[in-house]
Structure 1
Amino acid sequence: MLGTSPQGGKSKLPMQGIPQPSREEVLKLPRVHISTHPVMAHKMTLLRNKNTPPPQFYQLVKEIGALLAYESTETLSLESSTIETPLQSTTGYRLAGGIGVTPILRAGLGLAEGFRQVIPDVQVWHLGLRRDEETLQAMEYYNRLPHQVDLQVVYAVDPMLATGGSAIDAINILKRRGIPRLSYLGIIAAPYGLMRLAQAHPDIDIYVAELDEALNDNGYIIPGLGDAGDRQFGTF
């Protein structure tokens, strides 16, 4: 967003002149996971299309959230459990410890709903962060996180990882709750935001559907998909 300098001229755009890492640099990071699933690529193409209407867009976000949930839970711990089938007793497995999901409002709601389709009893805690369009800094406006957490892992979910400010702040807030293991789930990331998040929190895993080219001078991901919140809820 353009501002005005004290002399009356236009101020510099927030990302203008700021160096950005390449895709190749980011892909070398050890705990960054970019989906390579063909179904994900198909759904992402539909999601990016500017002609996709809000109801279909929201449904696609949920479906992508379910796919990300499946990919990101591959290393969760299990515990054995004896059950009765219609024929006999047998040993099965269940997730060891609870799982939490923190959608960053409001754009993260669709992803959280998709996650719940995979693990229905997941605990959902809402966190409101919004980005100042001039400074690109994240500002907290809503927090429903419990003070004490006893879960195996918590996932912070937000569709767009642009500058990384909201994601970094969300992980900081969750870490202050003493959560032992955290991960981030997103739909699209810019190399700049992904690098910043990985450097700020090298102990978390980051899962995204696709890695885009860069941020433009305004701090928007390109090619991107527009405003994920507006497109989910039809508020253009």
Structure 2
Amino acid sequence: MSEIIQHLTVVEHPLIQHKLTIMRDKATPTAVFRQLLREISQLLAYEVTRGLPMTTKRIETPMQEMDAPTLAGKKLALISILRAGNGLLDGVLELIPSARVGFVGLYRDEETLQPVQYYFKVPEAMEDRLVIAVDPMLATGNSSAAAVDLLKQAGATNIRFLCLLASPEGVARMKEAHPDVPIVTAALDEAIDARGYIVPGLGDAGDRMFGTK
């Protein structure tokens, strides 16, 4: 089941919520955290790819010929917002292995909480692709909004944002900056704290995924 709040979709599937609870637990080890993130990303991928354009192709089954449904248009683009985005990227790629992949490197200045760009590489013909940007945490929303700015500058016009957790502040920031970009998440948490972390949250997703905490 999914709860849709304007341009935000919270996917409330029991498997997602169960796995997310284990990820939130500070006692969960790095390897388990990483595996669960991959599993949840695959489940979330079903929602974020809902409504993809379809066409038909003529095939021959062992029984007869038929016009069978298939995806239409250029292969979609998955854009990882480094570094933690790679955890979601890996899972989605297992379901959509033909997708083109790009990376946006941003880090958050701990004093200003503003994003600083250090890397940007995306596929060609972005204007012709569905673009799915992935980042586990939509906290202040500043980095996410900046990443979408860069994707639009590269030509993207059809963008969706996939995250594991979102804060009300991050959702509001994204809606203000990019009202045309729908957000799909596993949970909308209470708020962000003075350091810009989601609470109750699960800590720093990158640190927990890579064991650098």
Fold match (TM-score > 0.5) = yes
The match for 2:176 among 199, 202, 227 is 199
**3-state SS of paired residue (1:142):** strand
Structure 2: unaligned runs, 5 residues or longer: none
Deviation at 1:167, TM superposition (A): 0.5
Does residue 50 of structure 1 match 2:26? Answer: yes
Deviation at 1:68, TM superposition (A): 1.2
State the Cα deviation string for residues 118-160 of structure 1 (Å, max 9, x = none): 1111111011000011110001001112454254300110001
Does residue 188 of structure 1 match 2:188? Answer: no
Does residue 86 of structure 1 match 2:90? Answer: no
For residue 64 of structure 1, what is the aligned residue in structure 2? 40
Amino acid at match of 1:155: I
Question: What stretches of structure 1 move > 6 A for 4+ residues in a row?
Answer: none
Where do residues 79-228 of structure 1 align in structure 2 (5 Å cutoff)? 79-97=55-73, 98-146=75-123, 148-149=125-126, 151-228=128-205
- Shift in alpha-carbon separation, 1:133–1:43, aligned structure 2, 3 A: same
What fraction of aligned residue pairs are identical, expressed as a percent?
Answer: 46
Q: What do you get for the CA RMSD once the two structures are aligned?
A: 1.4
TM score, norm. by length of structure 1: 0.85
Distance 1:233 1:159 in 2: 13
Tell me whether 203-212 or 79-88 shows the greater mean CA deviation.
Answer: 79-88
TM score, norm. by length of structure 2: 0.94
For residue 15 of structure 1, what is the aligned residue in structure 2? none
Structure 1: unaligned runs, 5 residues or longer: 1-26
Count of matched residue pairs = 210
Indicate the structure (1 or 2) with the bigger Cα radius of gyration: 1
Deviation at 1:28, TM superposition (A): 8.0
Amino acid at match of 1:51: A
